[in-house]
Structure 1
Amino acid sequence: MFKNFSQLKILFLLISSTIAIRIFDRDIIITDEIDAKYFTDDFIESLNARNDSTWTAGRNFDESTPLEHLRGLLGTNLWTKDYNTPYRIVDLQQNIPLPRSFDSRNHWPKCRSIGEIPNQGSCGSCWAVVAAQVLTDRYCIHANVQTTLSAEDLLECCVECAQSCKSGHMHKAWLYLQSNGTVTGGSYGSKLGCKPYSFSPCGYSGSLPKCQKNVLKPGCVRKCTVEGFKKPYDQDKHRTQGIFRVPPIPEAIQHEIYHGGPVQAGFYPSKDFYHYRGGVYQSTLNTTWGGHSVKIIGWGEENGIQYWLGVNSWGPEWGLGGLFKVKRGSNHLKIEEHVYGEKPDSLNEIDFQYYLSDEFINEINRHQSSWKAGRNFPPESSEEYLKGLMGTKLFDANDTTPYKSLPVGGDNLAEILAFLPESFDSRTKWPHCQTIGEIRDQGSCGSCWAFAATSVMADRICIKSGQTKNEELSAENLLSCCYQCGNGCRGGSLAESWRYYIKAGIVSGGGYHSEIGCRPYSIPQCSHYFSLFDNLPRCKGILPTPKCKKRCRSNYGKSFAQDKHYGSTYYRLQNNEALIRYEILTNGPVQTAFLIYHDFFSYKSGIYYTRNHRKVGGHSVKIIGWGEENGYPYWLCVNSWNSHWGDKGLFKIIRGYNHLGIESNVIAGEPLLN
């Protein structure tokens, strides 16, 4: 019958394939029969009848909705073996206390996109819809850019993300947003942006069109589809700064949302999730069809159960008007294991003047409870000038500055730290050292590093002398003659300033036109406080660094060499707020540096901390004390922007959380008295 073994083998394979296909078809039928029971009214009623239920079930999808469509709504591949995406580095000890409840919609009310409810239609594109939504929100939050980014462009053109409408990869989507970006584009039929979403909302009841089966992913078209859109496709791209995953720790996710905005999360919803109508969702089943992607915009607690507040992509008719709450803190259904977010790359799109506007100041005061903002700089102040005030390079991993040794005796140290006063002000302990409370003005020069260093040096000379030597040290001398310190008015180094103090010495010198000391400051004040100094020129850009002059002003009475003051040692302090307090209590004020964000320019009073505004640069100040106000622990600091800035030239900043690096960049030293 068969001429050779090969023919027999082919027949066997054909028969085997037919049997397999029939078995496979039968499995689908059996699976559908089993799954169908999870979408009946009886099953929904059984969910609500449970005594241990924390949520309410109801009909979100008509009974006639094919299971194939419901399965297709879960379109996120959460397989992680090929992940190389780094985790965001989050030090939970370095951040301010988080509120018990938080809703991004209330915190950033101008960003309407946060609360918009998308509808992915017949395509399993939740991974793309949510990624585009999160980046849209973050453009509004961080760049003050009101736009809508295109899920369609990401879905079409990220070939590595997805080959079809059945599923896609979140981490590959964020890689694509970093390297290629996405254009603008609104929802279906909106005609907004370059490339709106092409899948219409659908359903199996009501006025929505019937959902299509086996829809195909659109091919990549690298051009705008909205007629008359003004920007070319390539010029409309919006990208991220990078890509990271948020560590699977609830507090780390809260921190990211609180400071950065909504995040994208993937999880494995059970089949009962389709029926969610209210309450805090907790799965009652151990069955799922696959991974799903959603946006998390906040958190809270309901009836003693902690939850995440999420935005789904199944339209506003589903759940709580398109939103849902899911159990927080136990990685329920892996909801805390797959979390993404990143800041927009094109921060140059920000209108810098917005951060000096009354609108921005009012926004700060609406959302801050610990400090107040006000007008310190006119709204037309130049970006070059304000950025130029930030003139300090913070310590990095390569720094070799020695740390100060801990006090001898572990038990002794514990006793000392236990009895540190709750509040302290160096001005009160050493009242005859007038330099401690002096407010100086660096003018149009990024010399904060030199001002803070020489101010602390002068304070410590006075303190160590028993409050008998009360003399200002010259910021001008350090600024202009310490070549290894950095770039003068364009910025300098903390450690090099103190090394220079020990090796070369620093002469005395007061403020501009003060006629105090050997070398007073030569850069004039400028009027950045409206009409308070009408006789002074307006602050514009940063002035050149003064030339190094190794001679004292005329009629001073001492030579440059005779006027030198030297240090005996210098050191960094450990990132430990109790040890920093002990150092201030025993030896006097310390110098520190921290990162400045735009809202700091408008500080007026209270305990400062920032949440999410744009970073400007490193700044150096002097810490003279500490305390607590309205439950917030703080450092008391002296700035160098004149006494009309902030709280008469001073400010308070949150203590104990290394906020913006305030506790990990502390340096000081001891004077060598004549």
Structure 2
Amino acid sequence: MKLNILILSLLIVGAICVDDWIDNSKNYKPLIKSEMSFNSELPENFFWGDVDGVNYLTVTKNQHIPQYCGSCWAFTATSTLSDRIKIARKAAFPDILISPQVLISCDDFSNGCHGGNILTSYQWIAQNNITDETCSPYQAYGHDNGVGCSAQIKCKNCLPGKGCWAQDNAKIYSVEEHGQVNGEENMMQEIFNRGPIGCGIASNDYLRYNYTGGIYVNTTEVDYHNHAISVVGWGVENGTKYWIVRNSWGSYWGEKGYFRLVRGINSLNIESDCAWAVPKDTWTNDVRNTTASNTNSQSNFRQLHDCVRQENNQKDQVILSPLPHQYLNGAVLPKSWDWRNISGVNYLSVTRNQHIPQYCGSCWAHGTTSSIADRINIARNRTFPDIELSVQAIINCKAGGSCNGGQPISVYSFAHKKGVPEESCQNYVAKNPQKFSCSDIQRCMDCTKPAPTNTTVNPGRCWAVDNYENWKVGEYGTVSGADKMKAEIFARGPISCGIAVTNKFEAYTGGVYSEKSLTRINHEIAVVGWGVDETTNTEYWIGRNSWGTYWGEDGFFRIKMHSENLKIETDCSWGVPVVEK
């Protein structure tokens, strides 16, 4: 194997992220309740993305879009905490993504989009709690430039004609203890025993704009930090020791958003100032916030969903192989099947919220892209890295519709012809572009500083990225009827389906739902499995919604099979992703 090492011994000018990192040590007080046990022998190679075949790392993000924001510190704090929650929960459903936006808007020790510190971020979370991204999505503005702290920033919901309000039943997360760590051996022990850590580095223009892979070696001695990253493992290649580092510059950067940095010589000052946090278990007992003012009133679903979800065109199909119902006998299918837990493995991608930061009628794009992402996970046996597809790119390209509604099958058609980029190419902003052009920059973008001074003036610069992963489907089609739906889900993965939503369904909080409805299909969801209620012997579907984790059962629902199920079995669609083996 050829050793791939990039060696630089140059003066680092710190030109790329000089305002991302703030030394807040005077404001920080460690919170340590227990001593970590040390291992006498650590493995030569260790990576949280592949521990005995299990990926414990959450999805890669991009701090630089939809406009530049110096928020690496917030992404590092929240990604390491999300990873450690996943580790503590043994990678079980669901993946939890802690919101960096809450820190950027609410952490008073930070300068928002003009810098912050990992340690004080952990401290803020321990003192105030924090929510997930389905409560507060990334907007790339902070308290320094127009998006200050509020109840809505911590958790929000929106409806057309009713505006937005603070959601008061949000799942909350927190930190049990936090502290500092430095030095190669101590860092390795902390990572191995408890999970990824956050570190400051002295970034430079070469790393930002020229690194594409290999072990990066920089022997220049520096005594400052200007960027924050997370360290998720280590290894040795042909005698060269390295760290495995996660960045927040998109999955198209470096090695799928990561880079390897020479270990043991404090390259880029990475081994001098790191931080760790132990998450508090708030998920076992489903701890929620009940203190925010909730101004939600009974919604009018006719207003909400009319014309949002258009009927699939049954002629728009590309079928190249036998359909599952043609070769699977319904009698041999299991009594229950749930892609959230197949022999202990969760194959589903992250849960989303189409309604924030403002309302967007994009259910048609959410139900389809989540199903494609799930099928990518299944085809790749849930190996690293996690995949999250860009709903915003679908909207920008009008690949079936807009925030005013759309047709699900057209998303699969677009994915077949053009492909779908990942979320870190175009993050969800829940609005139509000024012009639907499907231009290169509307599909995948990057931005540079300075950060905007307010929400109307953006002095930074953005450009199109051309070296991104573009996920396609090789074939796609429609399916209806319980037996055919089961066969498709069992053989190839989740499907997207239309549903006739009502006010009663909106108020769903759990259990097996049933309702006779005369409402036409007006919403799109995904169906990820089925089961049987042992008490009533009622068969049900397991559905994924796009209304946030605070809705239903962690954003999911169960609904009666065969009848009284809001027409969920009448108009479904599927796509088979093209995945390299």
Q: TM-score, normalising length from structure 1?
A: 0.36
Name the structure with the higher strand share.
2
Which structure's CA Rg is the greater one?
Answer: 1
Name the structure with the higher helix share.
1
Q: TM-score, normalising length from structure 2?
A: 0.41
